[in-house]
Amino acid sequence: MRIFLFANLIFIALLIRPLTSVASRGEAIIVTDTVKSWDPVFGDDFQKGLYRATFDISKNHLTGLIFIKKTSDTSYRILFSNEFGMQIFDFEFLEKEFIVHNCFPSLDRKSLIKLLENDFRILFFSNHGIKKITQERSEASEEQSFKIKVKSGKWIYRISAASRKILSIRSTGKVFSKTRIELGHSSELVTGISISNPLIKLHISMSQISR
């Protein structure tokens, strides 16, 4: 009888024990609050950053400055203007809301706005709203690869195993990847961001010039 009760206690403990992030490559990690093996793109110490930027969409080429400001623990504001101070777009990202304060008429297309929202949201909230994490096989031994599932879809994070920094993010589709984001780092800072989407010939390049 005692052995039976002891076995039952062990079985119950195994059921309620939280899962950890240790997994073989290709093994799914599903937990209530999802365990992350990386640091967010914009960490707690980030407050604001100014980036020199180029914005190419189809045959249109724009240059200027992108200013990113953390307005609260769960919100960001991003403003893109040309060298003469004319606003190209002004977006605000909250954890569960997206606000378009201003957008240049030629870019004010629902499909493009939605794409930009998804791409910048995954940068600002890279650790939020994750429903599932699956560790994938990495081509480089010093890197890790994770597929994540969030509201906007499925994304693959390529992580530096040593620094825990996100090196790249790409969306996954049934046929091929749509958006690819490359990140450059210097110490604790994100100094370079490249966003590309070959389907609509979109390419955004950002290089930090000040904080």
* DSSP sequence for 89-152: EEEEEETTEEEEEEE-GGG--HHHHHHHHHHHHHHHTTTSS--EEEEE--SSTTEEEEEEEETT
Tokens coding 1:
């009888």
User: Which amino acid appears at position 38 of this protein?
Assistant: W
- For position 177, what pLDDT does the model report? 58
- For position 67, what pLDDT does the model report? 97
**CATH for the stretch 21-210:** 2.50.20.10
pLDDT digits (tens, 9 = 90+) for 83-103: 999 999 999 999 889 999 999
- For position 176, what pLDDT does the model report? 52
pLDDT digits (tens, 9 = 90+) for 124-175: 999 888 888 988 888 888 899 999 999 888 999 999 988 899 999 999 875 4
Buried b (16+ CB within 10 A) or exposed e, 9-33: eeeeeeeeeeeeeebeeeeebeeee
What 8-state DSSP symbol labels residue 60?
E
Decide if pLDDT at 17 tops 80: no
pLDDT digits (tens, 9 = 90+) for 20-38: 344 444 444 444 345 678 9
What mean pLDDT, rounded, does the chain reach? 83
Please tell me which residue, 56 or 188, carries the higher pLDDT value: 56
pLDDT digits (tens, 9 = 90+) for 103-120: 999 899 999 999 999 999
